[in-house]
Amino acid sequence: MSTIDEKSNIVSVFDSSAKSLLKDWQIVKNISKSWNIKDSIQVSTAVIPLLQRLTESWNTIQEDLNISFEDLKQKVNSSEFVSSLENSLRDQGVPFSGEFPQYDIPPFKLNISLDSFEARLSLGRKHERTSALHPLELAKWVSIRYKKLTGRKFNQTTFMKELLEAYSYSNRLVYREKDIAWGRAVPLNDIYDLLTLKLSSKQDYPKQFYMYDLGLLKELSTISYEAYKFEFGYARNQSKAIAIVDSQGRESRISSLTIYKEGEI
C-alpha cells in the first residue's frame, strides 16, 4: 500500500496530467475552426506521454479506491452508521419513526438500500434518490426536502378557491358544456395541469406540493367553501389515481374532484 506522501504525489500527477490533457484536447478539437496546424501537431504528440502518466497513476489510485470502497461498505453496514444517521436526522430537526433501513418521516418515507447503496425519499408514488450516504450529508438532504414541503404556509381557503377556479374550467372542457356541470367529477390530474399551466408554475408548485396540499385538505371533516362542497373520488383503475399523504403520513389514493354548488345539487 502507498504511503500518505506517495498517495498525495500520485494524485497530484493524475490531476495535473488530466488538466493538461483537457487543455490540449481543446486545441485539437477546435482545429477545424482555428486552423492552428502547428499547435495541433505539437499537442497531438504531447498527448501520448500524458496518457501514459494518467494510466499509470490511475492504476495506483484504483488500488487505494478499492480498499476505500470496502471500508465504506463495512461502515454503512454497521450499527454505528445507523446510530449516526438517526442522530443526524434529529440534529437536523427531522422527526422520524421506524427502524433502519425504513423510516416514516410524515408525509415522507425514507428507505436506505444497502444492495444498491442509495437512499430513496418517497411521497406517494413520487420519489427522489441519492447515493451520498454519509450520515450528515444524507440527513441534510432529507431535511431540505422535508422542510421545503412542510414549512410552507397552507391556507385552505386560498387552496379551495384555486381548486374551484380550475374545476370550473376543467369541468366545461371535460363535459363540453357551456355552463359548469356541478356535481360531476373532474380528474385531479387535469386540475393540476390547469393550476400549473405555465412551466414556471410547475417549477414553483411541483406535483409533490399538490399531493401534500390535497392530503391536508382531505384531513378536514367537511370540505366546503362558501356555497360549494368538495368531494374526492376514487378510481377503479389505480394507475389513474394520485397517492396523497396527509400530515400524519396516512396515505390514500384519489383520482377526481367533484364540487357541488348549493341550490344546484
Helices 135-150/207-218 angle, 10° precision: 60
Using alpha carbons, select from 195, 255, 265 the residue that is nearest to residue 229: 265
User: Among 2-11, 49-58, 146-155, where is mean pLDDT lowest?
Assistant: 2-11
Q: Which tens digit of pLDDT belongs to each residue from 220-234?
A: 878 999 999 999 998
| Cβ–Cβ under 8 Å, residues 247 and 219 | yes
Q: Hey, which residues does 126 pair with through a beta bridge?
A: 123
Say what the pTM is: 0.65
Cα–Cα distance for residue pair 167/153, rounded to 1 Å: 23
Q: Output the pLDDT for position 3.
A: 52
Start-to-end Cα distance in the chain: 80
Alpha helices (runs of H) in the chain, residue ranges in sequence order: 4-29, 31-34, 37-76, 79-91, 135-150, 156-175, 188-195, 199-204, 207-218
Cα–Cα distance for residue pair 88/139, rounded to 1 Å: 6
Q: Output the pLDDT for position 35.
A: 76
Mean pLDDT computed over every residue of the chain: 85
Q: Which tens digit of pLDDT belongs to each residue from 113-134?
A: 998 999 999 987 788 999 999 9
Place of cell 399531493: 211
Cα–Cα distance for residue pair 156/48, rounded to 1 Å: 67
| Cβ–Cβ under 8 Å, residues 16 and 49 | no
Q: What angle do CA 207, 248, 214 make, to 5 degrees?
A: 35
Which of 140 and 248 is assigned the larger pLDDT? 140
Q: Which tens digit of pLDDT belongs to each residue from 22-75?
A: 787 777 777 777 777 777 777 777 777 877 877 877 777 777 777 778 888 889
Cα–Cα distance for residue pair 261/252, rounded to 1 Å: 25
Say what the alpha-carbon torsion angle 133, 137, 140, 144 is, to the nearest 10 degrees.
-80
Q: What is the largest CA-CA distance in the chain?
A: 86
